Structure 1
Amino acid sequence: MHKLIARLWRIIRGPMQWRVLWLAHAKFMVGVTGIVRDDQGRVLLLRHRMWPEGRQWGLPTGYAVKGEEFGATVVREVKEETGLDVKTGRLVNLNSGYKLRVEVAYEASFVGGEITTDSFEILEARWFSPDELPNGMQESHRDLILGTAA
């Protein structure tokens, strides 16, 4: 039986193999977070409208679109949510094990621009010193900023 399956697999090659793999495997959304710092070491935090009351402060975060490199997701999300330009750095965290989501976090550096928030998603955007982070912040984001994420 195994030989037959292997033979069929070699016969269908290319796009058909990808279609079979797509149908047979789990699908995930990829949430991408940016730890954006300016030249003073402050971190960019956003107060998100859609997040739970009392826990609305967090890092710029969004979902990757199909075919997008995750570093590019950080650049796009920060631009959409704040109007700021950033450059991504190293990957600092990758979490899986969630039912439908994988989480990725990158360091990012502020390049330029002025804060202009997207009022649909973002209530407020501000720079904070890592030792003066606001109350009502996502604990996982606090851990990312302080370098203590698991």
Structure 2
Amino acid sequence: MVAVGGVVVSKGQVLLVKRAHPPNKGLWAIPGGKVEFGETLEEAVKREIKEETGLEVKVSELMAVVQLIKEGFHYVILDFVCEVTGGELSPSSDAEDARFFSRNEIEKIATSPTTREMLLRYFKGERTPMFITEISK
């Protein structure tokens, strides 16, 4: 399964959504989801962010490639840096909440280790894409 995510940036902060459903229910995460058949990666990122947050974005560079492999479950997630271009922040039913966080706040909220590492790299100015594989049995 191929999925996408967006590191959405505005005024020096990044947008996170609090997941309302498994996996990662209750954790703050970057908005994103599955790529639909026939959709480009850029189209998928824009659609998922719009659906989950109400915001419109411009997609720029690749930030991370993450493989999540569990029994019966294999995701390849491509995360892109995005800039807000329009819309109004309004979380969907997939998200309990959506808001922008500063670098210092990122270290104090509940996120997955991968999300935290990616966001801290972003705030440090590191733009070489990360490649991460997580295998669970």
Query: Shorter-normalised TM-score: what interval?
Result: 0.7 to 0.9
- The change in CA–CA distance for 1:143 and 1:65 in structure 2 (over 3 A counts) is same
Match of 1:67 in 2: 38
- The change in CA–CA distance for 1:30 and 1:146 in structure 2 (over 3 A counts) is same
Query: Would you tell me which structure has more strand in proportion to its own residues?
Result: 2
Once the two structures are superposed, what CA deviation does each residue of 1:129-149 show, in whole Å capped at 9, x if it has no partner? 122114211221111112274
Gaps of 5+ in 1: 1-28
CA apart distance, 1:97: 7.0
Match of 1:17 in 2: none
Query: Would you tell me which structure has more helix in proportion to its own residues?
Result: 1
CA apart distance, 1:100: 2.4
Gaps of 5+ in 2: 132-137
Once the two structures are superposed, what CA deviation does each residue of 1:91-128 show, in whole Å capped at 9, x if it has no partner? 1222347352211111100112211121x211100000
CA RMSD, aligned part only? 1.9
Count of aligned residue pairs for this structure pair: 119
Find the aligned partners of 1:60 and 1:105 in 2 and give their Cα distance. 10
- Runs of 4+ in structure 1 off by over 4 angstroms are none
Larger radius of gyration: 1
The higher-RCO structure (CA 8 Å, 6+ apart) is 2
Give the fraction of aligned pairs with identical amino acids, expressed as a percent.
31
